[in-house]
Structure 1
Amino acid sequence: MTIGSDRNMELEEALEMAARDRPPLQHARDFQSFAVLEQMVRMLPHGILVVSDSHGVEFANQAFCDLYGLMIPPAALLGHSASDILQMIRSRWFDPLYEQQRVRDWQARSRARRSMEVVLTDGRVIAMDWTPLQVDGRINCRVWHNYDVTERKHLESMLREREVDFRVMVEGTPMIVLLSEGEEQTTVTVNSHLTEILGYTAADFSDAASWWPLAYPDPVYRAKVANDWTARVNAAIRTQGRIEPMETRVTCADGSVRDIEWGFLSVGKRNVVYGVDRTPRRDAERERARLETLTHHLERSQSLDRMAGAIAHHFNNQLHVVMLSLHIAADELPRLTEVTRLIDSARQAAANAAEVSTKLLTYLGLSHATMKSLDMADICRRMVPILQASAPAGVRLTTSLPTSVPKVTASEAQLQQALLALLSNAWESARVTPHEIEIAVEMVDGREVPNTHIFPRDFVPQSGRYVCVRVTDRGVGIEAPDIDRIFDPFYTTKFVGRGLGLPMTLGIARTHDAAIHVESVPGQGSVFRMYLPTSG
């Protein structure tokens, strides 16, 4: 290494030491003489002025004159004051008045080392440092260090523009993007999609200790996700690569849960975490799976319905043969004998079995029905006396029936069966007597038909009006889990009959494109509503 380069390094080290914000005499380099100082700064490529405590120029190098375009040798600057030199180079400044005021403010600072930048008329940017030094252990001076930072400023501007472009890109991408630094993954910035998708803010991502419990409140699931994530991320940081996508169920700020597919990329000290919201796709997949399961159950139910219908038809036909044969046998035998009494019992049992078979066929929608235009209020009005006469003791029927309602196209016999079944269910639920049951008929709009506890389950109300037959009781009520099962054949929580009354009513509703809604409160009673579409 040459002597000149050694001295360059020595001066630069001295300037660096003097740059620290401490008293000048404590850190300023002690040069043996101005001659040594001059020899050192002469070799530097930067513009240097050495100014004494009396503000006179003690030394200037050629680089200073070249930097400011001064057409005089450096020796011509000696003896001038620092203010004189500033006036010489003032014409080179882009905005002399503005820059001169800045320089005055700069000179007035009390700090040991002062720095500023000025813009020249040719567009260059010059940085100026004012650094204290000590010579001969007693003479204090200052080094005015000038150097061109135009290229650096240009690069800084490009970096800022790229930073802006990058942030615009990060903000514009339709996913969560988080930038962090180092193995500690200290968060630098987070885009707005974090708040839009998950409801959290950048403050919630400040560190893993605060983020993990928010996103994964279940400690077992949190530990599993954290261990998997940490292992993948550490490997990516070591290899400066990316991880395989990792999908987790994230709890949002509002308590909802979303499916997020996370990725991680490590480049140098910067890390990029990105998250894509897969919730719509996962919801669609879950809905498709649900529909496939429902379709499977419906297909299985239809298969069972066909089989049950075939069995019921066959059973019903055989019962008719039995009943006809018993009837013929009874006519051939003397009356009031033991044999005829047995035949009568057999005929009654066969009739009961045939009734079960007929109700099962009605439930399956396979019974024959003659349709005509009917007034449901009139049907109820004519049936009430008969129903009251057949009701158990202590049960009283009340009605709320309009004079007339729009007609429905229906089978009168089946509607009478449905009404009887609903009333039978109501008076069987009586806890105490007297027990009051209300029968009402009213008009409702299709938009008012409830969508929960509605049967058949696939019923979709149409636009237009419905005639609603309502049966209300104050009985024991129905537990919520049982509501979905009361229309299953032979299901009952109070087995007093054959368990086909409500299933038969559901079959009648299917035949008439109608629906039955159930509303019940255990211990308070139930309300059954049958919605029948109006004719035309």
Structure 2
Amino acid sequence: MDNPVAGFPVMGGIQMPKDRIMIVEDEVVVSADIRDKLTKLGYDACPIVRYGEEVLEEAEKNKPDLILMDIKLKGETDGVEAARRIKEHLNIPIVFVTAYSGEETLDRAKACEPFGYLKKPLRIEDMKITLEMGLYKAKMERKLRESEEKYRFLAEHSADIIYRLNIKENRFTYVSPSAERILGYSPEDCLSLKAEDVLTPDSYAKQINTMLAAVKNGRKEPEILQLEALHRDGNILPVEVHAILIVDEQCSPVEILGVVRDITERRREEDKRIELERQIKKLQKAESMGRMAGAVAHHCNNLMSVIIGNLELALDEIPFNSVHRSYIASAMNASRRVAEISQLLLSYLGQSIGKREPIDLSEICRDVLSHLGDSLPPKVGLTTDLPEKGPAVLGDAAQIGRSITNILVNAGEAIGEGIGNITVAISRMTTSDIPKSQVYPADWEPKEYVYACVSVTDTGCGMDMETMEKVFDPFFSTKFTGRGLGLPVALGLVKAHDGAVRVESKPGQGTTLQVFLPLFGDNILQTQNEKPVAKVGSSGGVTQDPAGYPLHPCKRR
């Protein structure tokens, strides 16, 4: 460093501040010699301090970059004690200057963690090396400390959990405060936990296997895992872990450094997105099925009208005793059946609008159950949970009855020839209580606050999700070929009454279909008196509901 100007050396045309050195020395001649040497070396010497008691105050005032501290000073405070106070309050690097080199003195000085020692009399060459190394070391430690403080601040205020896990001891050596918000454990609690204490067994095994594979393959990049963490209260929450394996000189794993992010909200948004996509697909499918069914019904009706009309004309021209009359009659019956299917397709589209009048839903169910007859398998029992009166809905009694009949017949077919039971119940449900999943039509939005609910539950084979997605498709059936209009027609008739049908099922656990219809009039507030009916046993007999209506006769085998 050359050409000092106004206390600053000139380096490359830029004036740089000098390093400031404080001299703590009680001997005047020695301190003057040290100051001269510092000047020759290009340092800026602070005012000389001669008493240990004054060191801390002068250091706070002059803010030196390094202190040259004589160990033996006048007064009650020697250099070692003064250095201890500096380290405790200001953390300024110390280089001891001493004429003594006894073990006791050195042991006391070591406790202050000095940056070097200089022995009197001082040689300028020794001072140059010691001061340069001390200042360099101090600057590096200061940068390291600032870096640690910066990253500690980021870790302490991060929304994610930052952790260090000692692999050999299987314990956390650091966990950031966000663990308390996410997992319910304070950072101090976490230090006594093991990795398996905060992960489900499957997630813990997944993490171990991933890290073992990283060691085996020599991967150094962070691993990204989606795991399940255990909250302190026992709840399981989804987390995303970014972890990297730290190895020693022998490439043996010693530590895992990781970041844990709570992805509960992300999962919730993904589930919403998936459900929205499913709803869109349902709507698109329903729209295309509706267009197809409408076109088929329209063309069939037109063509069948021509066919039946011509068959009737042909029948009038054939002698009464002709064998050909039976052929024409069979063709007419088949044509009428096709016309009926066309009408069913219109019902599926919700276009079969009958007369609307207030009807008692419980009476409709009792009437349907009394006419089921042999429509159900012989070993199927019926249980009813119907109020004596109501609830009232506005609609066509025949159409609603047909809808319930189709659902009951489908429930019986799901049970088959085995022993089973069907439960029919009526209740009221508020809009908030109606589940949003597996409700058809897919675009149905409740318009009333309270709905009447007819629930049909069977103990049959149940359905998987794929089957439930198709259960209301025209002509779809898992039972018999040529059928598959029962549930689609039931849905169409309910849809025509501004209602909806919900299906809930699992393979091997039976199925529940719920029909929701808007309530009518004062029956919304009517109290229901439910009297469930016992199941029919295998001994046969007739099941009746509270009003005395006969239900399904169970035959002996």
- 8 Å CA contact 2:411, 2:422 repeated in 1: yes
Please name the residue that 1:413 is paired with. 398
The verdict on how the C-alpha distance between 1:421 and 1:128 changes in structure 2, with shifts beyond 3 A counting, is same
The verdict on how the C-alpha distance between 1:397 and 1:351 changes in structure 2, with shifts beyond 3 A counting, is farther
Distance 2:210 2:282 in 1: 33
Match for 2:75 among 89, 92, 111? Answer: 89
User: TM-score, normalized by length of structure 2?
Assistant: 0.56
For residue 423 of structure 1, what is the amino acid of its counterpart?
L
Please name the residue that 2:305 is paired with. 320
Distance 2:454 2:315 in 1: 44
Which structure has the larger Rg? 1
1:243-392 alignment, distance < 5 Å: 248-254=224-230, 257-259=238-240, 275=259, 277=261, 279=263, 280=265, 284=269, 287-288=272-273, 291-292=276-277, 294-296=279-281, 298-388=283-373
Cα RMSD (Å) of the superposition?
A: 5.6
3-state DSSP class of the match of 2:306?
helix
Percent identity between matched residues is: 28
Asked if 1:217 is matched to 2:206, the reply is yes
Please name the residue that 2:40 is paired with. none
- Deviation at residue 353 of structure 1 after TM alignment: 1.3
- 8 Å CA contact 2:415, 2:461 repeated in 1: no
Distance 2:398 2:493 in 1: 10
3-state DSSP class of the match of 1:373?
strand
- Deviation at residue 341 of structure 1 after TM alignment: 1.3
The verdict on how the C-alpha distance between 1:367 and 1:221 changes in structure 2, with shifts beyond 3 A counting, is farther
- Deviation at residue 517 of structure 1 after TM alignment: 3.5
User: TM-score, normalized by length of structure 1?
Assistant: 0.58
Distance 2:269 2:102 in 1: 75
- 8 Å CA contact 2:207, 2:225 repeated in 1: no
Please name the residue that 2:487 is paired with. 502
- Deviation at residue 302 of structure 1 after TM alignment: 1.5
- 8 Å CA contact 1:198, 1:252 repeated in 2: no
Distance 2:279 2:506 in 1: 28
Distance 2:406 2:474 in 1: 13
For residue 462 of structure 2, what is the amino acid of its counterpart?
I
For residue 346 of structure 1, what is the amino acid of its counterpart?
A
Distance 2:85 2:369 in 1: 104
Distance 2:49 2:420 in 1: 110
Asked if 1:478 is matched to 2:462, the reply is yes
Asked if 1:534 is matched to 2:519, the reply is yes
Name stretches of at least 5 consecutive residues in structure 2 with no aligned partner: 1-22, 34-47, 53-70, 116-133, 166-171, 231-235, 246-254, 522-557
- Deviation at residue 415 of structure 1 after TM alignment: 0.9
Please name the residue that 1:33 is paired with. none
Name stretches of at least 5 consecutive residues in structure 1 with no aligned partner: 1-44, 50-59, 71-84, 94-98, 104-114, 135-140, 181-186, 233-245, 265-270
3-state DSSP class of the match of 2:229?
coil
The verdict on how the C-alpha distance between 1:143 and 1:512 changes in structure 2, with shifts beyond 3 A counting, is closer
For residue 249 of structure 1, what is the amino acid of its counterpart?
L
For residue 226 of structure 2, what is the amino acid of its counterpart?
V
- 8 Å CA contact 1:423, 1:471 repeated in 2: yes
Distance 2:241 2:106 in 1: 60
- 8 Å CA contact 1:261, 1:278 repeated in 2: no
- 8 Å CA contact 1:400, 1:439 repeated in 2: yes
> Which stretch shows the higher mean deviation, 342-351 or 424-433?
424-433
Asked if 1:117 is matched to 2:117, the reply is no
- 8 Å CA contact 2:462, 2:506 repeated in 1: yes
Distance 1:443 1:526 in 2: 20
- 8 Å CA contact 1:398, 1:436 repeated in 2: yes
The verdict on how the C-alpha distance between 1:519 and 1:344 changes in structure 2, with shifts beyond 3 A counting, is same
Distance 2:107 2:458 in 1: 102
- 8 Å CA contact 1:376, 1:405 repeated in 2: yes
1:25-47 per-residue CA deviation (whole Å, 9 max, x = no partner) reads xxxxxxxxxxxxxxxxxxxx875
Distance 1:88 1:529 in 2: 97
Distance 1:130 1:144 in 2: 15
Distance 1:491 1:251 in 2: 40
Distance 1:535 1:517 in 2: 21
Please name the residue that 1:172 is paired with. 157
- Deviation at residue 492 of structure 1 after TM alignment: 2.4
Distance 1:404 1:227 in 2: 73
